[in-house]
Structure 1
Amino acid sequence: MSRPTGRVLTLLELLQSGGTRTIAELADRIGVDGRTVRRYVDQLIDLDVPVEAVRGRYGGYRLARGYRLPPLMLNDDEALAVLLGLIAGQRTGLAADTASETAAAKIRRVLPERLARRLDTVQQSLAFTKPSGESATPDTGTLLTIADAVRHRRPVAIRYTDRDGRRSDRTLHPYGIVSHSGRWYVTGVDPEIGENRTFRLDRINDARALPGSFEKPAGPDPAQRVLSGFATASYRHEVTLRIHGTVKQIRARLPAGVASVEESAPTAGEDLATERWHHVELRAERLDWLPAVLASLDRPFVIERPDELRDLVIALADRLTSYARQA
């Protein structure tokens, strides 16, 4: 797409967003002078786009009331952004595979053939260094219902199935929706017990808004609430450590979704970047991955519990020592 044509389309998009736009504003947004803006407006009028001139102190240009753009007008950059967004959504679980494929097909059908071929080339050339892994896309109706409740701070009634297959009916004051590792979560407060709760959206079988409203309290944002919930969830093993270093060093290998870190208060003359002992807790179904993580920290640490982890670390150290001594 030539540069002047792209600028004319940008002008049309700005006018389509509504209201009256001054010549100075349009010139600044497009990167041209006022005379060029008038020339671009004349080109739109020649294409039967009803651009109206508004006189007066706050005058400028606007589109005639009721005018709407054709269903799809994308330049090269916009089309590429939409396509990559669909691919990324499919890979990360943000969108269902079928919905992503059908949306991409619809976009491709209405694009000029030249641009469609170029976008096909990009899609066929893309490769990912890491498998997308397991993803679980929520029901669209459930997602929209809960998103509306988050926005308007309305309670919702949900029917939930936990990982053991148990079903229950719950009420939730939803604070936000979070996508993490291919899954969607809603986090908020259960008003019946007064505790923060996080639920997987794909396990919600039904959701409906309830009368009333609630006030969202101050505190961590929804993403931090979800990650903190992961770190304190019930698992087979409860691990307690003391690690010497900075919080940044610890978080590099044990992020908030894995472990909770109780920061030690700095002594006189120390700042937050000073290395010192911190209390770390985490929960895990298995322990076999932890020795390698602790080794990669390359910081002094003490295992307070469980003894099984201490044995696994010693076994790893013995193996590494035997490997290093081999000729």
Structure 2
Amino acid sequence: MPRPLARVLTLLELLQSGGTRTVSELAARLDVDERTVRRYAQQLLDLDIPVESVRGRYGGYRLGPGYRVPPLMLNDDEALAVLLSLTTAGDTGRDTAGDTARDTARDTARETAAAKIRRVLPDRLRRKLDAVLASLAYTTPPGGIADAPDPAILLPIADAVHHHRPVSIRHTAADGHRTERTLHPYGVVAHAGRWYVTAADLLSGEDRTFRLDRITDARTLPGAFTPPPDPAPTTRVLNALATAPHRHQVTLHIQAPPTHIHTHLPPSLATVTPLPPDDWCRVTLHVTHLTWLPATLAALDRPFTIERPTELRTLVEEFANRLLDSARRDPRP
């Protein structure tokens, strides 16, 4: 929520508490100057909210007699969409120190807006939505996440996660193959702009990860299941993405700690296994294309060896030769 809008809503809330509020008091509460308070009051008037100006030594602003903000009426889908948007909204770029105050203000506005919405929801819906929000996990802090998934899919799956219930889904794979499956879901995870459910898949008898946008129907089933002691949904999703079948299976040995390797090869892409007692790591990847790997390995700036595939050795040699040719090139026209 933009900060000026949040302040206008705060002004309305202050006036709703009753009585006349002086301009100086409102300016102090809103942390703005008195001229801005008058502009906010005019914005409320433009919305047909009867804000009255009281003149005199103790004058200021008050709401017209008998005015009440109409109750907030949201159905399940609307309430879920609003709360998820407030929870996951954010700017992905927070690099400069000058943005810190602005980001903090936006975070505060989102939190207060979400709290206000929760207060006016019926108890049944509030408990339901709290269960959904408690079932979500993120591989990175919320912010820049893709739009919330279809509530008709998310609500039953999140409810099944929270209460350890089986859930039936209709799933369409990347190749268009459609199946009906029964899952024991461990968690719902947002990663890299997409939403996933990680679960025990009773059809295959394995732990699987499914994208929510590929699920066309979901409904909870009777009964209950016992989840693993530590289901770790985010770790399961990252491991599933890193080991997903692709055209090339790559195995490397890199002389660097896992934290350094993951700066260029994130956990969702590469599985890193330390090789004690040396400071080398075994790195495995499943990728569709190899052409981007030579530049990435160069960016790591650490010794490495290529176990497989042979094509990657050729690509690295060609990349090194291009760098060498560029380094030797005469800078004159």
Pair in the same fold by TM > 0.5: yes
2:217 matched to 1:206? yes
User: 1:321 — aligned with what?
Assistant: 324
Are the equivalent residues in 2 in contact too, given 1:244–1:301 (CA < 8 A)? yes
Shift of the alpha carbon at 1:87?
11
User: 1:200 deviation in Å?
Assistant: 0.9
Between the aligned partners of 1:90 and 1:140, the Cα distance in structure 2 is: 21
Amino acid corresponding to residue 292 of structure 1 in structure 2: A
Q: Residues 50-91 of structure 1: CA distance to partner in whole angstroms, max 9, x if unpaired?
A: xxxxxxxxxxxxxxxxxx97547xxxxxxxxx89x5697599
Residue 152 of structure 2 corresponds to residue 141 of structure 1 = yes
Tell me if the contact between 2:181 and 2:202 (Cα under 8 Å) persists in the aligned partners: no
Q: Secondary structure at the match of 1:245?
A: coil
Residue identity (%) = 50
Aligned mates of 1:217, 1:254 — CA distance in 2: 28
In 1, the alpha carbon distance for the partners of 2:12 and 2:216 equals 48
- 1:261-308, CA deviations, whole angstroms, 9 ceiling, x for partnerless residues? 11223x4xxxxxxx7111110000000011111000000000000000
1:229–1:298 distance in 2 versus 1, CA, 3 Å: same
User: Within 2, Cα distance between the matches of 1:205 and 1:250?
Assistant: 37
Mapped pair 1:251 → 2:262 = yes
Identify which of 223, 240, 248 aligns with 2:234: 223
Deviation at 1:157, TM superposition (A): 0.8
Does structure 1 residue 262 correspond to structure 2 residue 265?
Answer: no
Which residue in the other structure is 2:131 paired with? none
- The equivalent residue for 1:307 is 310
Listed one character per residue, the Cα deviations across residues 22-41 of structure 1 (whole Å, up to 9, x for unaligned) are xxxxxxxx9xxxxxxxxxxx
What's the CA shift for 1:255?
Answer: 1.0
User: Where does structure 2 lack aligned partners over 5 or more consecutive residues?
Assistant: 18-28, 30-61, 73-81, 93-112, 114-143
Contact 1:136 1:184 in 2 (8 A): no
Matched residue SS, 1:142: helix
Q: Match of 2:256, as an amino acid?
A: G
Match of 1:172 in 2: 183
Post-superposition offset of 1:178:
1.2
Distance 1:310 1:146 in 2: 45
2:251: which partner in 1?
240
Whole-angstrom distance in 2 between the partners of 1:139 and 1:48: 40
Counterpart of 2:238 in 1: which secondary structure?
helix
SS at match of 1:280: strand
Aligned equivalents of 1:136 and 1:239: distance in 2?
33
SS of the equivalent of 1:234 reads coil
Structure 1 residue 137: Cα displacement: 6.0
Contact 1:136-1:202 at 8 Å conserved across structures: no
Q: Is the 8 A contact 1:137 1:202 kept in 2?
A: no
- Answer yes or no: is 1:156 the counterpart of 2:164: no
Work out the CA distance in 1 between the residues paired with 2:227 and 2:237. 16
CA distance in 2, matches of 1:260, 1:154: 31
- 1:281 matched to 2:284? The reply is yes
Any idea what SS the aligned residue of 1:302 has?
Answer: strand
| Residues 87 and 206 of structure 1: CA distance in aligned 2, closer, same or farther (over 3 Å) | closer
Alpha-carbon distance in 1 for matches of 2:253, 2:216: 42
2:186, 2:296 → 1: CA distance? Answer: 33
- Kept after mapping to 1: 8 A contact 2:186/2:231: no
**Per-residue Cα deviation, 1:95-147 (whole angstroms, up to 9, x for no partner):** xxxxxxxxxxxx9xxxxxxxxxxxxxxxxxxxxxxxx89x6863320111111
TM-superposed CA distance for 1:8, in Å, is: 11
Taking structure 1 as reference, are residues 243 and 162 closer, same or farther at Cα in structure 2, changes over 3 Å only?
Answer: same
SS at match of 1:263: strand
TM-aligned CA distance change 1:158 to 1:87, over 3 Å: closer
